[in-house]
A and B are shown apart, each in its own frame.
Chain A
Amino acid sequence: MSDDLNQSADAPALFDALFGAGRHRIAVEGSFVCGSAETDAGPVHVIGTWDRAAVDVTLALRVAGAVLDAMAADAEAARPIVFIASTSGQALSRHDELLGVNGYFAHIARCVDLARRRGHRTLALIHGEAVSGGFLAFGLLADRAIALPGAQVRVMDLRAMARVTKLPLEDLQALALSSPVFAPGADNYWRMGAVHDIWPEAGWPALLAEALAADDGHAADERAALGAERGGRKLAAAVAAQVLREARA
């Protein structure tokens, strides 16, 4: 099942598997996902990107606008926001760079952060793949990121990395076997604490309700500690804590 879901753009099947048939009203317009759904933990907003989108200025504005609308709609009770992250990274174009696409991504991040502070639980579900800048804009800003089965997470593939770093591909491939810090893979991001869970093939509605009811990652960013606990990122939490607490010389 997951292969089909991850490799096609069959949105209704994915949403049926996540929320149950007839329990979602979600529109997919091009690369933009927006709507709402019912879960066993209550109603949620659903916002995101689709079909391994290359996120550009236009898509970034739509995602940010949807988060702003969700906040405005929930003045009384802040419903959770479930982000669907399916992105091959940022769009590569001179026009987007000229407009300052980094500023548009920062704007999404500010919207997600304000939503969190206004009490919205935020979850990011990685579908297909999540790459680099497109993942940074909102997926990695959520309280918790979860990889659906078969999802890929990466900054850049090893061949491109070998080109840019001028290191031999064989060396990178060898180190990839023992070190999670640069090899692509949702499991590596799990070991480093940035992906909270990798879900199995079935049973998503119950897992979703459980993730929505938890409150990790909401008041504070606990991912570095999780990475240390899981053994994939041994220094981040300790170094940050040292800078936080060190007495002035």
Chain B
Amino acid sequence: MTPRRTSYYEATARARIAALVDDASFAEFCGPAERRTSPHLAALGAPVSFDDGIAVGAARLGGRPVLIAAQEGRFNGGAVGEVHGAKLRGLLDRARAERPAAVLLLVDSGGVRLHEANAGLIAISEVMRALLAARAAGVPVIALVGGSCGAFGGMGIVTRLCSAVLMSEEGRLSLSGPEVIETVKGVEEFDSRDRALVWRVTGGKLRRALGEADRLVEDDVAAFRAAALDWLAAWPGAPAPDAELAALRGAHAALAERATHFADTRDGAEVWRARGFAEPARVPMLAAAEFERALAEAGAHGSAT
């Protein structure tokens, strides 16, 4: 009997955690009973949430200890405020101290929470520093992107600081949201209501083809789990300190090459052609595994992570 598929896109943050890690292994820090809510939302008369839109804790993945955080896209679009950001920063500080096998970061966020914009922006910079410190201590941080809010704004930057990015086709990863670009630059620059275009510019297949994501997986929590286990098993370990500068130079060259190679590109369809997909028009129809095969046939692109 095939187990029932759990859509990652549709699941709540806590349902994603429960289905992702080993059975009943999740122990939450700063949990619901604490009611750590945002005083800034309350001051504006806006709804608050018992966990400020993020669950953080410890769990096991394939028997190994991990730390895990999941943003709740259903609360304020998973946006980062003071408390939300501090929980994530604290978890990454803990990773540096405890050295778990990995940190899993289930990103589902539009970025800074505007109701407390300054606190959110600063919190994201603290998360960035804490994440890089955890990686420098040898702890891999894996981003999972497949929720309805994607990974935008500062959380788009945080995602790309991770050791690996696992994405579903439905996941979106970028910086400014299409609505913001349309509002400021006009609908001819970016039509945010053209969902197929938004997907071709920010979606999982494009990110995977550009080397921004390490694996493309189906919209299924079990597929994310399998990809995380698989990536961890193959992970060679953090680079030695004296190899880090050379590694960053390599990433720099890959990013520069991408900017040159796709200098005039404004639509993912152009990327499919330029990347040598045999049938560019069929790319949106490919299942994750077929897409990975087609990508390998077209010639793997260097990862910039």
Contacts and interface: CB of A to CB of B under 8 A. Distances in A.
A164 B181 CA distance: 13
B154 A221 contact: no
B94 interface: yes
B110 to A, nearest CB: 10
Nearest to A189: B118
A5 interface: no
A115 B113 CA distance: 30
Main secondary structure of the interface of B (DSSP, over half): helix
Nearest to A217: B129
Given A97-B176, A98-B265, A136-B154, A240 B129 contact: no
A233 interface: yes
Interface in A179-195: 179-183, 188-189, 192-194
Contacts, number: 249
B115 interface: yes
Q: Nearest 9 pairs between A and B by C-beta?
A: A243-B90, A140-B125, A102-B156, A240-B90, A106-B160, A239-B86, A155-B117, A102-B175, A103-B160
Given A90-B176, A97-B202, A193-B122, A61 B256 contact: yes
Contacts of A171: 44
A249 interface: yes
Contacts of A137: 157
A171 B115 CA distance: 11
Interface of B: 27-31, 36, 39-40, 43-44, 46, 56, 58, 82-83, 85-87, 89-91, 93-94, 97, 112, 114-126, 128-130, 132-133, 136, 151, 153-154, 156-161, 173-176, 178, 180-181, 184-185, 189-190, 201-202, 206-207, 210, 212, 241, 244-245, 248-249, 251-252, 255-256, 258-259, 262, 264-268, 271, 304
A94 B194 CA distance: 13
A240 B174 contact: no
Contacts of A179: 40, 43
A98 B266 CA distance: 6
